[in-house]
């Protein structure tokens, strides 16, 4: 939890011109009406045991106090729910009192949310208590939900009547143009399934910004945005949405100009008071990648100085030995693994960002800046070897730890010669514990490090095993956190709060299209 900060009296620095440009780029949303494809009843309120119901019988099912009805919408949906309710028996003499529980995955339906006591707000759990005073009624809930399953529990009726759910539907919402998307089979069945789940993950996170997750937190995070943008370049190619998000981050920053880790867009755009060393640098990387795809000079001119400012801020957090300081390491995310020392990772992310910043400077014909950045890059790279490379153990060691994350990020930073980097990644199993990768976000960078060292088969195998294991557990979209050896793990103190359609997990679409369809292409990051 350490990374989330609270700064009282925080007033973001807003740039009206950049925010206006972001507003102009706001996408229109696509909608579809989706109805349930199946139904069942859970035998006990929090049990997993269920009895299937034939769907056409649902409109005749009379629900008394304590009974439940679970509807399956076929796959993960993001949208608004409408229920048509009626009754059987004599005239309702008391309101119908219902509990509605929306679940992205089946397991979530049987969780008792009252037991959740983690550090993220309980209010994200998608449950509502609803009173319906007059029956029959059609009710549309005002909130947008992310779900595949809906559990309706009859909290109370009266002895005079029973409730009937005549119809349910979800009006979905996304800015991804799924209808236009042409799926190209790869010839590999598992890769196709992974691709489709990744695509759905991306689409359901594409709203009027790239959200991190439609269940939680429903907003822009820089680290997520960078990966979503990459996945988007290989699929929907909605360039304006990437541009809009870059302008939003640039348009509302910390008072000293730093890019915030995360951004609110409602009721008005406002930078969150959380800053992360690595996330701020991803702004530089994401901007350069956007320009590689679009060559959009307006964006380069508007955002160049802000990108360079992030580099300068980070360089000021290096000591005389050109190694990032403790404050930088402690404000670095990398993965949900709090006991892991992040100094080496922070150093490596900064080296990567310098490489991208230099490309930006060259694009801008800012040659003195490009040269200065090259000098810094070389100094930091040499310092990385001097400070973190352990000659005896032949790996990177960060304050005594040789975590896989440090090896991965140093490989991505090109700190080693290619042969040495490859040998390091061949021995990766030595570094997998005790600082295990906790999220698909970290697994993405692990796969990229394998690709960067040319270990393409190993990279593809890992993608298939890791993301494939979520499919085996019934995933329609990919999850925020997942450890196949510990399915109940949650970074937040309870998996009922985990998000099961999470932006940073969608990157297999890019891996499959860019790396595993054309063997031999290298250079992951």
The residue ranges that bind ligand RAM (CB under 6 A) are 212-213, 217, 221, 223-224, 333, 504
* Of 19, 38, 299, 64, the residue nearest 163 (C-alpha): 64
Tell me whether residue 79 or residue 213 sits nearer to ligand RAM (CB atom).
213
Tell me whether residue 39 or residue 213 sits nearer to ligand RAM (CB atom).
213
Tell me whether residue 224 or residue 302 sits nearer to ligand RAM (CB atom).
224
Q: Which residue has the tokens 């001119």?
A: 301
Q: How far apart are CA 432 and CA 437, in angstroms?
A: 7
Q: How far apart are CA 109 and CA 168, in angstroms?
A: 18
Output phi, psi for 154, to 5 deg.
-80, 100
For the bound state, the minimum distance from the C-beta of residue 73 to ligand RAM, rounded and expressed in Å, comes to: 23
For the bound state, the minimum distance from the C-beta of residue 428 to ligand RAM, rounded and expressed in Å, comes to: 24
Q: How far apart are CA 143 and CA 113, in angstroms?
A: 19
Distance separating the N- and C-terminal Cα atoms of the chain: 26
Q: Is 486 exposed, middle or buried (0-12, 13-18, 19+ CB in 10 A)?
A: exposed
For the bound state, the minimum distance from the C-beta of residue 105 to ligand RAM, rounded and expressed in Å, comes to: 17
For the bound state, the minimum distance from the C-beta of residue 504 to ligand RAM, rounded and expressed in Å, comes to: 6
Beta-carbon contacts of 99 under 8 Å, excluding residues fewer than 6 positions away, are 127, 128, 129, 130, 151, 152, 153, 155
Tell me whether residue 104 or residue 217 sits nearer to ligand RAM (CB atom).
217
For the bound state, the minimum distance from the C-beta of residue 217 to ligand RAM, rounded and expressed in Å, comes to: 5
CA atoms 480, 485, 490, 496: torsion sign = positive
* Of 369, 231, 225, 363, the residue nearest 291 (C-alpha): 363
CA atoms 312, 316, 321, 322: torsion sign = negative
For the bound state, the minimum distance from the C-beta of residue 219 to ligand RAM, rounded and expressed in Å, comes to: 9
Tell me whether residue 73 or residue 435 sits nearer to ligand RAM (CB atom).
435
Tell me whether residue 212 or residue 428 sits nearer to ligand RAM (CB atom).
212
Output phi, psi for 476, to 5 deg.
-100, -25
Tell me whether residue 356 or residue 504 sits nearer to ligand RAM (CB atom).
504
Tell me whether residue 212 or residue 288 sits nearer to ligand RAM (CB atom).
212
Tell me whether residue 333 or residue 516 sits nearer to ligand RAM (CB atom).
333
For the bound state, the minimum distance from the C-beta of residue 221 to ligand RAM, rounded and expressed in Å, comes to: 4
Output phi, psi for 445, to 5 deg.
-70, -30
CA atoms 198, 204, 210, 214: torsion sign = negative
Q: How far apart are CA 63 and CA 70, in angstroms?
A: 12
For the bound state, the minimum distance from the C-beta of residue 425 to ligand RAM, rounded and expressed in Å, comes to: 25
Is there a contact between 289 and 523 (Cβ–Cβ < 8 Å)?
no
For the bound state, the minimum distance from the C-beta of residue 139 to ligand RAM, rounded and expressed in Å, comes to: 30
Q: Widest CA span of the chain, in angstroms?
A: 84
Q: Is 503 exposed, middle or buried (0-12, 13-18, 19+ CB in 10 A)?
A: buried
DSSP conformational letter for 401: B
For the bound state, the minimum distance from the C-beta of residue 205 to ligand RAM, rounded and expressed in Å, comes to: 10
For the bound state, the minimum distance from the C-beta of residue 5 to ligand RAM, rounded and expressed in Å, comes to: 12
Tell me whether residue 169 or residue 212 sits nearer to ligand RAM (CB atom).
212
Residue 304 tokens, joined: 């160049």
Beta-carbon contacts of 26 under 8 Å, excluding residues fewer than 6 positions away, are 208, 244
Tell me whether residue 195 or residue 221 sits nearer to ligand RAM (CB atom).
221
């Amino acid at each position: 939890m350490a990374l989330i900060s609270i700064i009282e009296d925080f007033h973001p620095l807003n740039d009206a011109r950049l925010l206006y440009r972001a507003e102009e780029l706001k996408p229109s949303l696509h909608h579809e009406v989706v109805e349930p494809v199946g139904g069942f009843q859970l035998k006990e309120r929090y049990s997993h045991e269920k009895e299937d119901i034939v769907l056409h019988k649902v409109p005749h099912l009379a629900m008394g106090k304590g009974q439940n009805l679970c509807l399956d919408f076929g796959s993960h949906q993001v949208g608004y729910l409408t229920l048509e309710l009626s009754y059987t028996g004599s005239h309702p003499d008391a309101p119908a009192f219902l509990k509605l529980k929306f679940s992205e995955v089946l397991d979530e339906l049987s969780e008792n949310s009252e037991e959740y006591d983690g550090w993220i707000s309980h209010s994200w759990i998608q449950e509502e208590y609803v009173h319906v005073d007059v029956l029959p009624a059609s009710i549309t809930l005002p909130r947008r939900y992310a779900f595949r399953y809906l559990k309706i529990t009859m909290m109370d009726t009266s002895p005079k009547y029973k409730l009937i759910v005549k119809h349910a539907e979800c009006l979905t919402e996304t800015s991804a143009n799924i209808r236009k998307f042409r799926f190209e089979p790869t010839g590999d069945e598992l890769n196709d399934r992974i691709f489709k789940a990744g695509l759905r993950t991306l689409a359901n996170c594409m709203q009027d910004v790239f959200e991190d997750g439609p269940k939680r937190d429903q907003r822009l995070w820089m680290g997520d945005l960078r990966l979503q943008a990459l996945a988007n370049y290989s699929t929907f190619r909605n360039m304006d949405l990437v541009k809009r998000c870059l302008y939003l981050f640039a348009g509302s920053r910390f008072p000293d100009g730093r890019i915030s880790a995360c951004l609110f867009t409602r009721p008005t755009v406002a930078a969150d008071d959380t800053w992360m060393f690595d996330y701020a640098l991803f702004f530089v990387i994401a901007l350069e990648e956007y320009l590689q795809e679009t060559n959009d000079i307006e964006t380069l001119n508007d955002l160049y100085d802000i990108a360079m400012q992030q580099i300068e801020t980070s360089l000021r957090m290096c000591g005389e030995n050109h190694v990032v300081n403790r404050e930088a390491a402690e404000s670095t995310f990398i993965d949900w693994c709090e006991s892991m020392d992040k100094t080496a990772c922070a150093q490596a992310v900064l080296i990567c960002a310098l490489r991208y910043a230099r490309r930006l400077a060259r694009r801008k014909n800012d040659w003195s800046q490009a040269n200065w950045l090259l000098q810094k890059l070389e100094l930091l790279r040499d310092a990385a070897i001097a400070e973190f490379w352990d000659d005896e153990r032949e790996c990177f060691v960060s304050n005594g730890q040789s975590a896989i994350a440090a090896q991965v990020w140093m490989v991505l930073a090109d700190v080693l010669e290619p042969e040495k980097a490859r040998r390091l990644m061949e021995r990766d199993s030595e570094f997998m514990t005790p600082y295990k990768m906790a999220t698909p976000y970290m697994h993405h960078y692990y796969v990229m490090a394998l690709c960067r060292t040319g270990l393409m088969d190993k990279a593809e195998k890992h993608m298939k095993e890791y993301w494939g294991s979520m499919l085996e557990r019934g995933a329609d979209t990919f999850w925020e956190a997942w450890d196949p050896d510990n399915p109940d793990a949650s970074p937040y103190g309870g998996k009922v709060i985990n998000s099961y359609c999470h932006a940073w997990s969608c990157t297999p679409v890019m891996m499959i299209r860019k790396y595993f369809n054309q063997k031999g292409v290298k250079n992951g990051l």
